[in-house]
């Protein structure tokens, strides 16, 4: 009879994996890909080094997998935030709020996506490009709907969305350097929302 792990055993394995992934985000965000080591990760997670190799063959595979999971998490949070919002300004504010909430309460997530991943490994280039494209698509879809409703003047929605993504990322990275980023976040959301609406020349009804 083949061995089947019990539910309790699977839960323990899942907990170790989750702890290791959370530790890896912090280590990569703090040290960058090149300086981070597998030993750093397992020590931070308080797991045996064998646990690492149970799930991943090497640091590169872990980093790519972690980047993909982290990117999916952020994109899903933004999409859920804008879904069901009645107006373009509400959608913009909700999306920005979701992004900044994650940035201020889980800064390692944003550091990993925007800083640690840049130039880390060749195998990540395509994955990173896909993430940037998916993030741009969220804003572009909102902008296309606003164009269809004549709420904004004619414009290249993809180029505008790319510009908004770059500007928002820059502001968020700067916010994370502040000692009291959490208390500053609401004002940053409002300022960024105003900037975005002006940038696309939104026409208030």
| Structure tokens that stand for 100 in this block | 């900044």
Give the distance from CA 39 to its chain's centroid: 25
pLDDT per residue as tens digits for the range 162-205 = 999 999 999 999 999 999 999 999 999 999 999 999 999 998 87
Boundaries of CATH 1.10.10.60 in the chain? 8-56
pLDDT per residue as tens digits for the range 47-73 = 999 989 999 999 999 999 999 999 999
8-22, 151-165, 186-200: which has the minimum mean pLDDT? 8-22
- Asked if the model's pLDDT at residue 82 lies above 60, the reply is yes
- Which CATH number is associated with domain 59-199? 1.10.357.10
For the domain made up of 8-56, the CATH class stated in words is mainly alpha
Return all residues near 195 (Cβ < 8 A) that are at least 6 apart: 167
Q: How confident is the model at residue 11 (pLDDT cuts 50, 70, 90)?
A: low
Boundaries of CATH 1.10.357.10 in the chain? 59-199
Per the CB < 8 A criterion, the answer to whether 124 and 67 are in contact is yes
Per the CB < 8 A criterion, the answer to whether 197 and 91 are in contact is no
């Amino acid at each position: 009879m083949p061995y089947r792990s019990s539910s309790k055993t699977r839960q323990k394995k899942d907990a170790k994996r989750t702890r290791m992934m959370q530790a890896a985000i912090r280590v990569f965000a703090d040290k960058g890909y090149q300086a981070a080591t597998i030993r750093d990760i397992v020590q931070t997670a308080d797991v045996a080094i064998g646990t690492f190799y149970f799930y991943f063959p090497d640091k590169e595979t872990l980093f790519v997998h972690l980047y993909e999971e982290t990117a999916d998490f952020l994109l899903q949070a933004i999409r859920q935030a804008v879904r069901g919002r009645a107006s373009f300004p509400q959608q913009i504010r909700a999306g920005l709020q979701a992004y900044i909430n994650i940035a201020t309460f889980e800064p390692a997530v944003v550091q990993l996506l925007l800083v640690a991943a840049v130039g880390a490994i060749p195998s990540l280039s395509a994955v990173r490009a896909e993430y940037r494209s998916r993030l741009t698509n969220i804003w572009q879809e909102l902008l296309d709907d606003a164009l269809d409703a004549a709420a904004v003047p004619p414009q290249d929605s993809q180029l505008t969305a790319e510009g908004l993504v770059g500007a928002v990322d820059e502001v968020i990275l700067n916010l994370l350097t502040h000692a009291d980023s959490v208390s500053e976040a609401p004002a940053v959301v409002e300022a960024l929302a105003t900037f975005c609406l002006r940038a696309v020349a939104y026409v208030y009804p």
